[in-house]
Structure 1
């Protein structure tokens, strides 16, 4: 593993993650033989607006049951499983973190979804799949930790079939800098690689994609974090939450995200990009 991403890998590698999630479910009185997607939502939908955003993206994606979708940066698989459950499509999730992938596999078994949803630990910059392997690509808030965005986008484009749709839900830069740290995706600036909206759009089209949908969701993100207050004293954490993924300072990170949104330091964009069908006889 490259030295410059080891600290990012460490950030997303909590110990005994699956056991901690099971312990949280037990404390909530959940019957493990009847656990649902909604039971896991507080911990496994680690992106702005959680399952509400996931459901909106599923509708936007228009993926169908005969498709095989690649989830790039799947985390512990919350939106991966919700996508498959809603559309009946097959989904393969990849993430850099072995700890996340191990938890994703175990949670998928807990929900008896392993026939439809599978996971692999690997880098998004070097996907272990052949060209044109997937009918669609799904990637929710992972670009922030990717410095080499061009290679990430080229890889998603390579493995996507012509005519396929890539659904991206991403945090980008905005008018003002620098960011307030820590934030949910980064402890400090060495882990965060936001680019302005127009540059991000240019990178997407430069690898060959046609942009079909470009929706600015920053206002909805602001509303979602509008009531987040600066924490005081010891954190009052729920038994099940995304702090299990990225640390007990999650309330400080949420407060700083609130500040970054309100001060126009970050933005939130919903994108559908299409890999064009090459016309017969074209190079």
Structure 2
């Protein structure tokens, strides 16, 4: 593993994460025998606008129950499980972090969803799947830590069946630099690799995809972080939250993301892309 990957792996490898989540559920008075997707939402929907965005992206994707979908950069599997639950499709999630994958698997067993959702620890730059293997691809805010975007996108395209769709929901750069750090995905600029939207679009097309839908969601991201304030004193953290994934300085990270959005240093892009080719179920 390269130095960059080791830093990123370390950032997303909190100790004893599953038990910390269980402890949070206990503190909230949740019955562990009847935990729901909604109970886990405060900690496992680690992307801008959380579950609201996940549900919108599910509608955008149009995945069907007979499909097998790859979730690239699945984290602890919140949107992976929501996608499987709401569509009936089968989903395989991959992530670089062994700790995230272990937690994703254990939470999935807790929810009794292991028949529809599986996970594997690996790099998005070297996917351990055959060509044309998946019916669809789903990737929510993981490109920020990927310097070699061309390899990531080319691998994503390679494992997708011809005619298959991929949903990408990604933080990109914007007209101004540099960023304020830390942010939710990085402590400093050694872990953050953002392209402006036009360059990101060019990279997607260079990897072999055709772009069907391209939506700039920066205004909604700004609304989501509009109330983020510069923290003072000791953080007042909830029993369950994404700080368990990336550290107790999450309020500083949220405040910096708010500043980066408002000062046009970052943007948020939602896109639906297609791998060109023939697909029988496209025939009317």
- So what's the TM-score if we normalise by structure 2? 0.97
1:122 equivalenced with 2:122 (yes/no): yes
Structure 1 CA distance, aligned partners of 2:7 and 2:205? Answer: 30
Match of 1:195 in 2: 195
Q: Deviations over 1:91-132 (max 9, x none)?
A: 000000000000000000000000000000000000000000
Unpaired runs of at least 5, structure 1: none
Equivalent position SS for 1:254? helix
1:259 equivalenced with 2:259 (yes/no): yes
Per-residue deviation, 1:2 = 1.3
Per-residue deviation, 1:56 = 0.1
Structure 2 CA distance, aligned partners of 1:278 and 1:15? Answer: 45
In the TM superposition, 1:35-114 aligns within 5 A as 35-114=35-114
Per-residue deviation, 1:208 = 1.1
Equivalent position SS for 1:60? helix
Structure 1 CA distance, aligned partners of 2:208 and 2:133? Answer: 17
Per-residue deviation, 1:4 = 2.2
Equivalent pairs, count: 279
Structure 1 CA distance, aligned partners of 2:133 and 2:121? Answer: 18
Equivalent position SS for 1:170? strand
Match of 2:239 in 1: 239
1:142 equivalenced with 2:137 (yes/no): no
Structure 1 CA distance, aligned partners of 2:50 and 2:197? Answer: 22
Structure 2 CA distance, aligned partners of 1:272 and 1:212? Answer: 6
Equivalent position SS for 2:163? strand
Match of 1:228 in 2: 228
Q: Deviations over 1:3-35 (max 9, x none)?
A: 222111100000000000000000000000110
Match of 1:165 in 2: 165
Structure 2 CA distance, aligned partners of 1:6 and 1:208? Answer: 29
Structure 2 CA distance, aligned partners of 1:61 and 1:112? Answer: 25
Per-residue deviation, 1:278 = 5.6
Structure 2 CA distance, aligned partners of 1:175 and 1:278? Answer: 38
Equivalent position SS for 1:191? coil
Following TM superposition, the consecutive aligned residue runs of length 4 or more in structure 1 with deviations greater than 4 angstroms are none
Structure 2 CA distance, aligned partners of 1:195 and 1:179? Answer: 12
Q: Is the 8 A contact 2:4 2:191 kept in 1?
A: no
Equivalent position SS for 1:208? coil
Equivalent position SS for 1:8? helix
Q: Deviations over 1:238-274 (max 9, x none)?
A: 0100000000000000000000000000000000000
Unpaired runs of at least 5, structure 2: 280-284
Match of 2:28 in 1: 28
Match of 2:205 in 1: 205
Moved more, 270-279 or 170-179: 270-279
Structure 2 CA distance, aligned partners of 1:82 and 1:3? Answer: 33
